[in-house]
């Protein structure tokens, strides 16, 4: 037990550490601006979310979300450096300060939220765990896969979801763990695994990049809720607010019908107070986040609203070929809903 003097000194030291840590933590936005570049963690490679094209340029939804955040800060989508991260290293890289934000197909869960020292922002994509296997395997549902060898990615929720499912139906399976998706897909094609288990959107992305996509089928069942959100460090509420409301702004722009094609006209002629606030005709939203008053206008002009980004990166007319489904706006029967921006 400490004496009164020592106890008081300990309390003062803790207060100084907490206060000093908080002051230091508030500097993420300032550090990004001083660096002149956002550092964004992304997937090591999966079509639809993050994959280099033939010129080596990263493309995908998560990539565009990183670029959009760079526009919000710098009004320049190119002021971002991408850091490809595996599932097992992504949260460590964020916590250590190697990256500023993580847009990487990362499911929001309770234990991640309360144990990692990180915070997840808004859900920007809703998915669920599924299985992919050869179309000629004669399997119509996962319950017929008892005894199967299943490729899984280490450090993902899919490990636990798969184990929980087969335990619940009292059937065995053999997991084969990989660090990266491309390794799991190669093993699946080579016949080392009977199936690949991960989120359905990533299965669709992986299938689109395989030599003969039609040889593979994704079972229709879903075995989990996998809501993806950006992650930031827990000790910087200002940066959390920026990432959170940036994500909402993309959804809100779609709700209001603001697109790349009409954003300029909307900003010039709209009399809707919500539209005028969102596009920076009145400055309060940008001022509240210490961003340019036209931050949302700049984002939409550069990359489009949420729906435009989705359709361009993984929509029905892309090789990934995913309908919006739960990722439709709430007004169209989906789950996407922007909180009021006022």
Residue 5 forms part of a structural domain = no
Q: Predicted confidence band at 321 (pLDDT cuts at 50, 70, 90)?
A: very high
Please determine, for residue 21, whether its predicted confidence score (pLDDT) is greater than 60. no
Number of domains in the chain: 2
Work out the average pLDDT over 30-40.
97
198 and 249 co-located in one domain: no
pLDDT at residue number 172: 95
Residue 159 forms part of a structural domain = yes
Q: Average pLDDT, whole number, for the chain? A: 92
pLDDT at residue number 45: 95
Q: Assign 3-state DSSP to the chain and report helix, strand, coil percentages, each to 5.
A: 45, 20, 35
**pLDDT tens by residue, 224-272:** 999 999 999 999 999 999 999 999 999 999 999 999 999 999 999 999 9
- Paired residues of 196 in beta bridges: 132, 151
Please determine, for residue 136, whether its predicted confidence score (pLDDT) is greater than 80. yes
Work out the average pLDDT over 282-294.
97
One-character DSSP codes across 77-101 = TTSEEEEEE-TTTHHHHHHTTS-SE
Please determine, for residue 5, whether its predicted confidence score (pLDDT) is greater than 70. no
Please determine, for residue 223, whether its predicted confidence score (pLDDT) is greater than 80. yes
Percentage above 90 pLDDT, the chain: 91
pLDDT at residue number 16: 36
Please determine, for residue 155, whether its predicted confidence score (pLDDT) is greater than 70. yes
What 3-state class would DSSP assign to 297?
helix
Q: Are 93 and 104 in contact (CB under 8 A)?
A: no
258 and 148 co-located in one domain: no
236 and 327 co-located in one domain: yes
pLDDT at residue number 2: 40
The secondary structure element, H or E, covering residue 310 is helix 306-314
Q: Are 286 and 293 in contact (CB under 8 A)?
A: yes
Degrees, nearest 5: CA angle 229-233-238: 90
Last residue of a domain, which of 224, 253, 273?
Answer: 224
The secondary structure element, H or E, covering residue 16 is helix 4-25
Which carries the bigger pLDDT value, residue 209 or residue 9? 209
Domain assignment of residue 181, given as a range: 129-224
d(CA 319, CA 205): 8
Q: Predicted confidence band at 26 (pLDDT cuts at 50, 70, 90)?
A: low
Residue 339 forms part of a structural domain = no
The 38-43 sheet, strands edge to edge: 80-85, 38-43, 101-102, 226-233, 118-127
Residue 18 forms part of a structural domain = no
pLDDT at residue number 9: 39
pLDDT at residue number 11: 37
Work out the average pLDDT over 11-31.
53
Residue 29 forms part of a structural domain = yes
Residue 340 forms part of a structural domain = no
150 and 277 co-located in one domain: no
The DSSP bridge pattern shows strands 216-218 and 118-127 to be unpaired
In the numeric block, which tokens belong to residue 193? 């695994």
d(CA 227, CA 105): 9
- Using the CB atoms, write b or e for 16-51: b if 16+ within 10 Å: eeeeeeeeeeeebbeebeeeebbbbbbbbbbbbbbb
33 and 110 co-located in one domain: yes
Residue 338 forms part of a structural domain = no
Q: Which of 18-32, 35-49, 135-149, 150-164 has the lowest mean pLDDT?
A: 18-32
pLDDT at residue number 87: 92
In the numeric block, which tokens belong to residue 12? 């003062």
In the numeric block, which tokens belong to residue 148? 């199967």
């Amino acid at each position: 037990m400490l004496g009164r003097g020592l106890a008081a000194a300990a309390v003062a030291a803790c207060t100084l550490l907490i206060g000093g840590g908080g002051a230091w933590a508030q500097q993420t936005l300032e550090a990004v601006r001083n660096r002149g570049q956002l550092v964004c963690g992304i997937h090591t490679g999966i079509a639809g979310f993050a994959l280099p094209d033939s010129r080596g340029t990263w493309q995908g939804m998560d990539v565009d979300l990183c670029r959009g955040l760079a526009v919000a800060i710098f009004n320049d989508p190119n002021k971002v450096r991408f850091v490809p991260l595996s599932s097992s290293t992504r949260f460590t890289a964020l916590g250590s300060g190697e990256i500023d934000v993580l847009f990487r197909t990362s499911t929001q869960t309770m234990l991640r939220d309360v144990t990692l020292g990180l915070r997840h922002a808004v859900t920007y994509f809703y998915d669920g765990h599924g299985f992919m296997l050869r179309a000629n395997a004669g399997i119509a549902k996962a319950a017929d896969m008892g005894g199967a060898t299943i490729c899984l990615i280490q450090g993902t929720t899919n490990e636990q979801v798969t184990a929980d499912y087969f335990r619940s139906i009292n059937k065995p399976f053999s997991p084969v763990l990989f660090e990266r998706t491309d390794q799991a897909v190669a093993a699946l094609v080579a016949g080392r695994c009977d199936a690949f288990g991960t989120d359905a959107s990533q299965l669709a992305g992986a299938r689109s990049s395989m030599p003969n996509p039609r040889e593979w089928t994704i079972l229709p069942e879903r075995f989990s809720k996998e809501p993806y959100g950006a992650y930031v460090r827990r000790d910087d509420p200002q940066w959390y607010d920026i990432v959170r409301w940036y994500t909402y702004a993309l959804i809100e722009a779609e709700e209001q019908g603001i697109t790349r094609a009409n954003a300029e006209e909307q900003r010039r002629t709209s009399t809707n107070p919500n539209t005028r606030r969102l596009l920076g005709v009145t400055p309060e939203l940008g001022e509240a986040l210490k961003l340019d008053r036209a931050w949302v206008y700049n984002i939409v002009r550069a990359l489009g609203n949420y729906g435009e980004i989705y359709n361009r990166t993984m929509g029905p007319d892309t090789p990934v070929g995913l309908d919006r489904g739960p990722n439709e706006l709430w007004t169209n029967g989906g789950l996407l809903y922007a909180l009021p921006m006022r």
